[in-house]
Structure 1
Amino acid sequence: MTGTGTSAYGIIGTGFAGTCALWHVVQRLTDPRRTLSLGPSAITIVTVERGPVNGPGYPYAKGNVQLPHRCNNEAGTMGIHGNDFVDWLFESKPRLIKDDPELVLETHPGIDLGDWQPDDGEFYPRALFGRYLEERFQETVKRARTHGIDVQQYVGHDAIDGYPTEQGFAVCLRDLKTGRQFTVDGFDRVLLSTGHWQSKATDALSGHGGYIASPYPPDAMQAAVAEHIQSRCARDERPRVFVQGMGPSGIDAIMTLCGAGEFTYTHDGHIASYQPAVRAGDEPLSIVAGSRCGFFSPVRGPLAPYEPHYLTEDQLAEIRRDHQGHLKIERILELLDKDLCRATAGAAGWNDMQNPRYHCAKDKLTSDLQDSYTGNLIHTIALKARRMRFYSRLAPSDKATYDRFLDTHFIRTAVPMPAANAEKLLALMDAGILTTVRQGYDAPRIAVGEDGGFRITYQGDEGGRATMRADCVVRASAQDFRMENHPSPLVQSLLGRGEIVPHAEEGYATGGIALDARGGYRALKRVGDVCVPSPHLSSYGSLVRFWQHEHNFAAAFVEAAERVADDWIGVATAASPWPAAVDGTGLVSTEKGS
């Protein structure tokens, strides 16, 4: 604790966000160029993770990935610092080729493994990235302990409560195997890096047989679908599964459902066809993917060499001067439209982002693969616009409009898809396995028919509404960021105590918790009728406000980890830019982590 010659840090959740934080904190604590007022032996770091290992978190954990599930970003953008993921691939190359060649061949089919060179621009399997995070986490723990820092790891534990004490901040933990509960007290700083979550809110379909609320874990989804369609298969009827959502999670769901079949390849490593795994005379599974817009994420190459000419910081500053410090979404879309038209010589504008000029998803996938020049320009401009972080400066009413109607277009355009996934989707379509539908933005919710099947309403070829029946529905659509639906008992306890508060502006809740308006990632807590920066809690990732709109890419996690680490190191140096935590006797626990 500050003032007693000890310092204690806690990291709750050790996926990508928590692993980033650990690496940057330890890097600063062990940097010989830094002068600390505390010796390493006076510093304790405690990590808490629900899963069986530290590092992968939920998205990259072994039980939540299958071989065809790819990362959403290129390898060169995914390191916990610099180009570290690609560096690790080079370091691990002999071991990966010997022990896990399938992880390499999935991305580089047909290659002579001896010739493999890790590629910055490739989308590698999530299982491979999970391996990287797990190893880097343990290497960081080893480095810290080598320097005398006490690192305590609680894997398979859930954080269920937290509150300030005379010793600092206390966190209550529960062992998920035994149910035993205990408290670790005396933290100076705690990072809430709990990652993405499955909303605890239930909809009208929850609990209905055949409704799968998430495509993860994939084995569980496969088993649930297989069990529910047994009767249809027994009657020699072709079963149909509706995948609700056409983003990365929807693509994962499709690949999982088709995992028993086999893709064939051309001599140069492209997808040639798909052969379903069915017995002679049996009907293969029919998969229908749908979303409001009816299109998958685009196939994109490297960012195009275009800098916005109209949508610039100077223009945004002018809009704010005209509107009492706020940005207006209409003006932003006008500037975005001008940049799109300028970059593409009039071939595309905002309306093409909003309503792509294609009859169906298959046509767009084919176009993306054949000619990506215009698409790369649209992707580049949309991505750069999003990373200008304009959302936080919108008026609350415009934030509501953006959330309801516009973010889906930015996400769909800015998040790329590996070309191999596009080829696989087309092969599934050619094989008669996969079709797609556009549900529209005002379609009725999925209903349950009298026969127990699901009724999905979509836009027919003539523009009117049509209905189909499905045996199963796999929900792979957007995350619910409303804090009241967060499933974590820790988050709900902290909300109840006022140690964190939902972010709201003029009555509109943007989703996520509020952070200190001065910058950084210090959470706000409620004291009486006002909110003040917490002396203990920091957070970044999907738990915090605006993250899904402005920071949801790997480099933003790294930037946040660096900011948090710099804040925390103030505890172990002579001067801290933040209020010091209450003095006490150091970290106190009834148990010790590994």
Structure 2
Amino acid sequence: MNSVIALIGSGSTALSFIHHYLQQLEAGAALPRTMYLFEKRAAFGSGAAYEADRASNLLNTKTEFITPFIDQPGDFWHWLQTQPALWRHQFPGYTLEADGYAPRPLFGMYLEDRLKALVKRAASLGLNVVQLHAEVLDIQQHGNRQVLNTDCNLRLVADYVFLTCGTLPAKRNNALAEHPHVLNTPYPVSTLPARIPAEAAVGILGARLSAIDAVIALIEQGHRGPITLHSRSGYFPSVRGTQGRIQPRYLSDEYLATLRASKGKLSLQELIALVQKEIMELEGTELRGDFHLPAPPASLENYLQDEIHAAAGPRAWQAALYATNPIIDQLWAALHEEDKQKFLDNYFSAFMAYRVSIPVENARKILRYLQSGQLRFCSGSFGRPQAMDGGLVLRMDGEQIVHHYDYLIQAMGSPRQVGHLESELLSRLLQRGVLQPHPLGGVKIEAHSYCAEGANGQTNPRFRVLGELTTGAFFFTSALDINARHAKRCVEQFATVFTPAAKDIEAAQA
């Protein structure tokens, strides 16, 4: 068999995919033995999320838990303990702690090293992993073959394509697309001092992880000018407590299957009640009153003081929310369609603030900056930035308030809507109907096989999608362990489909 598969993107999801692909080969699956691995960044393995940068960019999952290999818990922790020669010289100030939060670039080094090991293991199994430093700009299907066109004029043919491209940036604001004082992303944050003068007034659009990274990096690298965080929703991430992993009683496959068997689809209120029951079970208390959405903090300084104090101990509600990771796609599928949209419209910002927490170390830094007066927090929606009088202006919607800045940093993360992503490849595939936008985010796929659904409503068995682009189908696709689980399922499903077909072809050729 001479079939070829192509993976577009070599980050953590691709590593998970390759890991389970090799397991299928070891189990005797007759899978393609040539794999093209495309990566437009300098390094293979780390991806955008864990690229080389400052050590102040921290993971928000404890060191002992995080791994791209769901069947190898603690693999990152084991690597840190056994391979200090590979990383200690670049992170001399890092204290190795199982329940601490390691620098994201350190995790990126681990991923790069693990990819090298996977490529060697692949060679021993007869799989040729061809690593290509190139950006795929278009994919055209000719019969059963996929022709991939790259930015370096390289054209390659594959039989099967898997999009594993991870987090993609937002399209630049057209009015200020080329403005030298507008940064479309804060990363890498190590370069911010070279791009922004130390005395400049800086506005940061966004208030989640990337915005926090930008604030800390600026100030720790000597920025002296005022910095303002703008949060449209007014929410700010919670602070991670000391709790570990739990075995849920209600947020489990078994309980959800039983519930679905009796009720069918669930309402949003029923889903919220399920989470509440898990929290009450952990706390040993009874449910008191109806659920009310927590309001955004009136004072970020007071909020962080309370959060830091609460984070000194276990937080049952955080343990319950993190326990949803293994079944979050099933919870999403269980909701009525109208309730999915209702959740995104009314609850998503609060969910992300409480579900995606930050380490107490970074919370303390942000609190110090607020107390010093160098950092401000502004909540409320705002219009498009405008260039005016040599600077940049941000107007608050429905108000007379105008903020003046020398520089603006866009740090609002990756948009859910695929049409808002900066990607020539996706734009072309959407334009030709190879991919179809999902109304709830990302692109449409068949959830069991991960096959892309085109504009004609048909799924393409030779084109599969993983990671952030599946957010409409699976809701929460920004956690490493969730994407690792999907990669495993995708490989297993692909093997069940491909192996019988391969055997039939081989028999016919014989």
- TM-score, structure 2 length as denominator? 0.86
- The 5 Å alignment of 1:165-180 reads 165-166=142-143, 168-175=145-152
1:120 to 98, 107, 110: 98
Query: Who is 2:80 aligned against?
Result: 89
Partners of 1:299 and 1:372 within 8 A in 2: yes
The residue matched to 1:400 in structure 2 has which SS? helix
Partners of 1:11 and 1:193 within 8 A in 2: yes
1:490 to 404, 422, 425: 425
Q: What CA distance in whole angstroms lies between the structure 1 residues aligned with 2:225 and 2:463?
A: 48
Partners of 2:193 and 2:218 within 8 A in 1: yes
Deviations 1:64-113 (A, max 9, x none): x222111232223321212221121122124433x2243xx24x2xxxxx
Query: Who is 1:516 aligned against?
Result: 446
Query: Who is 1:267 aligned against?
Result: none
Letter in 2 for 1:17: T
Q: What CA distance in whole angstroms lies between the structure 1 residues aligned with 2:490 and 2:251?
A: 34
2:360 to 412, 419, 432: 419
The percent of aligned pairs where both chains have the same amino acid is 21
Deviates more, 1:214-223 or 1:67-76: 214-223
What displacement does 1:377 show?
Answer: 1.7
The residue matched to 1:409 in structure 2 has which SS? helix
- The 5 Å alignment of 1:388-403 reads 388-389=328-329, 390-403=331-344
Query: Who is 2:205 aligned against?
Result: 244
Aligned residues: 501
Q: What CA distance in whole angstroms lies between the structure 1 residues aligned with 2:261 and 2:173?
A: 40
The residue matched to 2:454 in structure 1 has which SS? strand
Q: What CA distance in whole angstroms lies between the structure 2 residues aligned with 1:318 and 1:37?
A: 39
Query: Who is 1:145 aligned against?
Result: 123
1:18 to 14, 29, 48: 14
What displacement does 1:56 show?
Answer: 0.9
Query: Who is 1:6 aligned against?
Result: 2
Q: What CA distance in whole angstroms lies between the structure 1 residues aligned with 2:416 and 2:206?
A: 17
Given the superposition, is the C-alpha separation of residues 312 and 164 from structure 1 closer, same or farther in structure 2, using an over 3 Å criterion?
A: closer
Deviations 1:249-286 (A, max 9, x none): 1111101211324xxxxxxxxxxxxxxx6xxxxxx311
Given the superposition, is the C-alpha separation of residues 148 and 70 from structure 1 closer, same or farther in structure 2, using an over 3 Å criterion?
A: same
What displacement does 1:372 show?
Answer: 2.8
1:299 to 212, 236, 239: 239
What displacement does 1:388 show?
Answer: 3.7
Query: Who is 1:158 aligned against?
Result: 135
What displacement does 1:559 show?
Answer: 1.2
Given the superposition, is the C-alpha separation of residues 343 and 132 from structure 1 closer, same or farther in structure 2, using an over 3 Å criterion?
A: closer
Letter in 2 for 1:258: I
1:69 to 40, 46, 57: 57
Given the superposition, is the C-alpha separation of residues 153 and 88 from structure 1 closer, same or farther in structure 2, using an over 3 Å criterion?
A: same
- TM-score, structure 1 length as denominator? 0.74
Letter in 1 for 2:67: G
Query: Who is 1:266 aligned against?
Result: none
Partners of 1:245 and 1:475 within 8 A in 2: yes
Query: Who is 1:588 aligned against?
Result: none
Given the superposition, is the C-alpha separation of residues 583 and 524 from structure 1 closer, same or farther in structure 2, using an over 3 Å criterion?
A: farther
Deviations 1:536-586 (A, max 9, x none): 111110112436733331211221221222234447744679xx999999x
Letter in 1 for 2:226: S
Decide which structure has greater strand share: 1
Partners of 1:55 and 1:130 within 8 A in 2: yes
Q: What CA distance in whole angstroms lies between the structure 1 residues aligned with 2:292 and 2:166?
A: 33
What displacement does 1:130 show?
Answer: 1.0
Partners of 1:337 and 1:350 within 8 A in 2: no
Matched, 1:191 2:162: yes
1:541 to 432, 448, 467: 467
Partners of 2:210 and 2:411 within 8 A in 1: yes
Q: What CA distance in whole angstroms lies between the structure 1 residues aligned with 2:239 and 2:377?
A: 17
Given the superposition, is the C-alpha separation of residues 473 and 487 from structure 1 closer, same or farther in structure 2, using an over 3 Å criterion?
A: closer
1:253 to 200, 214, 232: 214
The residue matched to 1:171 in structure 2 has which SS? strand
Partners of 2:383 and 2:397 within 8 A in 1: no
Matched, 1:559 2:482: no
Deviations 1:405-445 (A, max 9, x none): 21111111111211211122122233332222322xxx342
Partners of 1:309 and 1:339 within 8 A in 2: yes
- The 5 Å alignment of 1:215-234 reads 215-226=186-197, 233=199
What displacement does 1:136 show?
Answer: 1.0
Query: Who is 2:317 aligned against?
Result: 378
Partners of 1:13 and 1:192 within 8 A in 2: yes
Partners of 2:16 and 2:487 within 8 A in 1: yes
Q: What CA distance in whole angstroms lies between the structure 2 residues aligned with 1:446 and 1:422?
A: 29
Q: What CA distance in whole angstroms lies between the structure 1 residues aligned with 2:194 and 2:324?
A: 41
Given the superposition, is the C-alpha separation of residues 72 and 411 from structure 1 closer, same or farther in structure 2, using an over 3 Å criterion?
A: same
Given the superposition, is the C-alpha separation of residues 316 and 145 from structure 1 closer, same or farther in structure 2, using an over 3 Å criterion?
A: closer
Letter in 2 for 1:524: E
Q: What CA distance in whole angstroms lies between the structure 1 residues aligned with 2:289 and 2:214?
A: 32
The residue matched to 2:151 in structure 1 has which SS? strand
Partners of 1:60 and 1:129 within 8 A in 2: yes
Letter in 2 for 1:445: G
Query: Who is 2:304 aligned against?
Result: 365
Letter in 2 for 1:297: P
Letter in 1 for 2:347: L
Matched, 1:35 2:25: no
Deviations 1:457-503 (A, max 9, x none): 399xxxx9855433322221142222223332222333233332222
Query: Who is 1:506 aligned against?
Result: none
Letter in 2 for 1:428: Y
The residue matched to 1:195 in structure 2 has which SS? coil
Q: CA RMSD in A?
A: 3.6
Partners of 1:567 and 1:576 within 8 A in 2: no
Query: Who is 1:445 aligned against?
Result: 383
Given the superposition, is the C-alpha separation of residues 584 and 248 from structure 1 closer, same or farther in structure 2, using an over 3 Å criterion?
A: farther
Identify unmatched segments of 5+ residues in structure 2. Answer: none
Identify unmatched segments of 5+ residues in structure 1. Answer: 109-117, 176-180, 234-238, 262-276, 278-283, 504-508, 586-594
What displacement does 1:213 show?
Answer: 2.2
The residue matched to 2:376 in structure 1 has which SS? strand
Given the superposition, is the C-alpha separation of residues 516 and 377 from structure 1 closer, same or farther in structure 2, using an over 3 Å criterion?
A: same
Deviations 1:200-248 (A, max 9, x none): 253655444533222123255443332xx7xxx5xxxxx4222222211
Partners of 1:298 and 1:417 within 8 A in 2: yes
